[in-house]
Homo-oligomer: A and B are copies of this chain.
């Protein structure tokens, strides 16, 4: 249904040439006489011809498709990555196809298998923690695999992102240097959001190095959100009133924490620290600390690699592109 549209053959007939000539004319091949080309173009216009990429790709054995798998759409971070990819692909003739894993390894495997059946020219996946069977599938696809966001692990092929372990460490160092000592932690679904778990681990590592520890914490089990962050913060502040800093699994949660601190009249004596550097966080009436993740840029770089893995790779000589998040708002 709906797949029935005019074909190259009909265009060719209307223009009084062969399929091949029509094909060449449409693709702008050099060896077609100007008038023939014009006749073909007219016929195309006339019939409202739209090429069939299924046939094109099957025949030419290239799809110009980039498969992209991200865990979620309900946090603005991944849409921004996708926007970056979309921008990075612009003008390259490549098309992105997106799939969602919902932070679920099994679902991720299925989605990847599904996308591979379209024979994409490259695939971009989030994180480095795919189970072995997924990795095997990715390897045997025999196309460039670009793992993004995370750097803590062993990449399959290309890798663009940042070390979340180090991001947690650096944030802890900055906060301790600024004089913070009584830390709490608030996060959620860490068994699914592995990057948030790595940040927490890094943070805790530095606390221990400094003979410190989280005095209290609250862990939600639904996905992170501003409302959840606010709720858990109220709970934690009630249980542990003398914290001077709370580290959150991300900025959404930290913004909720900031709201809670305002409501509890604690915004002056406790600092909330998150991760991502959301636009929103910068506009807040109270200051929060955060590490800015260059997520849009990560998307653009990954897209560039997907377009031309050879050239992009040659120029950088390494298959790993590492970013270091910038810390702001620590006082």
Does A30 sit at the interface, judged by CB under 8 A?
A: no
Known: A2-B120, A58-B58, A74-B79. 17 other contacts (CB 8 A): A1-B121, A2-B122, A3-B62, A3-B119, A5-B119, A48-B140, A50-B141, A54-B58, A54-B118, A74-B76, A74-B83, A76-B76, A76-B79, A96-B98, A255-B280, A262-B262, A262-B285
Assembled-state Cα–Cα distance A297/B86 (Å): 25
Binary CB contact string for chain A from 72 to 92 against chain B (1 if under 8 A, 0 otherwise): 111010111011001000000
Q: A326 an interface residue at 8 Å Cβ cutoff?
A: no
Residue A116 lies at the interface, judged by CB distance under 8 Å to chain B: yes
**Contacting pair A143 B1 (CB below 8 A):** yes
**Given A100-B83, A121-B2, A283–B263 Cβ distance below 8 Å?**
no
Proximity bits, A143-185, B CB within 8 Å = 1, else 0: 1100000000000000000000000000000000000000000
Query: Scoring A residues 98 to 123 as 1 if CB is less than 8 Å from chain B, else 0, what string do you get?
Result: 10100000000000011011111110
Closest to A282 in B: B227
Cα–Cα distance between A144 and B1 once the two chains are bound (Å): 10
> A208 at the A/B interface (Cβ < 8 Å)?
no
Residues of the B chain whose Cβ atoms lie less than 8 Å from the Cβ of A141 = 2, 5, 50
* Separation of A141 and B48 alpha carbons in the complex (Å): 9
**Closest beta carbon of chain B to A186's beta carbon, Å:** 14
Q: Tell me which residues across on chain B come within 8 A of A61, comparing CB atoms.
A: 3-4
**CB nearest neighbor in B for A55:** B58
Indicate whether A51 reaches chain B with its CB closer than 8 angstroms.
yes
A284 at the interface (CB under 8 A from B): yes
- A172 nearest CB across to chain B (Å): 26
| Interface membership of A230, Cβ < 8 A | yes
Interface residues of A in 22-50 (CB under 8 A from B): 48, 50
Closest Cβ of chain B to A131, distance in Å, is 16
If A74-B80, A230-B283 touch, whether A117 touches B58 (CB-CB below 8 Å) is no
Chain A residues 250-286 with CB under 8 Å of chain B are: 255-256, 259, 262-263, 279-280, 282-285
Contact of A130 with B by CB under 8 A: no
CB<8 Å pairs between A and B, sample of 15: A3-B62, A3-B63, A48-B137, A50-B117, A50-B141, A53-B119, A73-B83, A74-B76, A74-B79, A78-B79, A97-B97, A97-B98, A225-B279, A225-B283, A259-B284
Q: Are B79 and A73 in contact (CB under 8 A)?
A: yes
**A117 nearest in chain B by CB position:** B53
Complex contacts, A58 vs chain B, CB 8 Å:
52, 54-55, 58
A76 smallest CB distance to B (angstroms): 5
Most buried by B among A58, A72, A80, A282: A58
Measured between beta carbons, the chain B residues less than 8 angstroms from A143 are 1-2
Query: Is A209's beta carbon under 8 Å from chain B?
Result: no
Residues in chain B near residue A83, CB distance under 8 A: 72-74, 100
Q: Does A236 contact B (CB under 8 A)?
A: no
> For the complex, is A95 an interface residue (Cβ under 8 Å from B)?
yes
